[in-house]
Amino acid sequence: MKIPGVTHLLLITCLLLANMGTTLADTINIAVASNFADPIKELTARYTARSGQRINLVFGSTGKHYAQIKNGAPFAAFFAADEYRPALLEQEGVAVPGSRFTYAVGRIVLWSPKAGLVDSQGKVLEGQAFRHLAIANPRLAPYGKAAEQFLQNRGLWEGLQGRLVRGENIGQTYQFIRSGNAELGLVAYSQVKSPGHPPEGSLWEPPPAEYDPIAQQAVLLQDHPVARAFLDYVKSPEAVAIIRGFGYAMP
């Protein structure tokens, strides 16, 4: 049967739109804790180059991402900066059961872009060589909570209240220091460590025993084949080597 010209054109248009919809559907959104921005950009670039599948990354604080996910934000997966919120999403029936895993163990460092400001024992925190110390908001960001725990452990928390600058997330905290709004701060080691390059400025790593371990977990929020395949790739030896190169420990 011969299809009239206009009907034929409409049919072709519908088929094209359907194919476009399938292609667009393959671009998934992933919520990512700010500290993991540089590593996951490299991981997604390599994954996309091999698979052709596109991934849209949305960075922010773990606390805010959790709230957005609970309110229905269309994320296919969540790379948190802690283990608490992914576990909570699993318990609440929001995450795909059995998909949660630890992809990295974070470390905090006291860092300044100014050479020589941070000494080898962190004694600068006890003096007057700085006006502002930047940390992430402890209520929203696990790295901020770790900073708070460390400063409390050293007996410095109360005395530094007038000099603390709090970022909404660890990415904003890093920018406070980089821009000079704070002379130094407690940030993620991964933010100042890149593969093959020594960190600039001066830094000191607080003993890990002085704050709770920062076990960073990922979890599937939609049982989407691209999301599942990407999380599988993150567990691969190649991906693990990349993550280590950015200063993370592994479980």
* Chain region(s) in the chain for CATH 3.40.190.10: 5-105+215-245, 107-210
- Cα–Cα distance for residue pair 115/185, rounded to 1 Å: 14
Contact yes or no for 187/111 (Cβ under 8 A)? yes
Residue 58 has pLDDT above 50, yes or no: yes
Mean pLDDT over all residues of the chain?
90
- 3-state SS, residue 177: helix
pLDDT of residue 155: 98
pLDDT of residue 79: 98
- Cα–Cα distance for residue pair 15/21, rounded to 1 Å: 10
- Cα–Cα distance for residue pair 201/128, rounded to 1 Å: 19
Classify domain 5-105+215-245 by CATH architecture.
3-Layer(aba) Sandwich (3.40)
Span between the terminal Cα atoms of the chain, in Å: 65
For tokens 């088929």, the residue is: 15
Pure H helices in 52-117: 62-70, 84-91
- Cα–Cα distance for residue pair 122/110, rounded to 1 Å: 7
Residue 9 has pLDDT above 70, yes or no: no
The CATH code of domain 107-210 reads: 3.40.190.10
pLDDT of residue 251: 86
pLDDT of residue 69: 97
What are the pLDDT digits (tens) for 179-205?
999 999 999 998 998 787 788 999 999
Please count the other Cβ atoms lying within 10 Å of the Cβ belonging to residue 166: 19
- Cα–Cα distance for residue pair 60/190, rounded to 1 Å: 16
- Give the torsion through C-alpha atoms of 158, 161, 165, 168, to 10 deg: 60
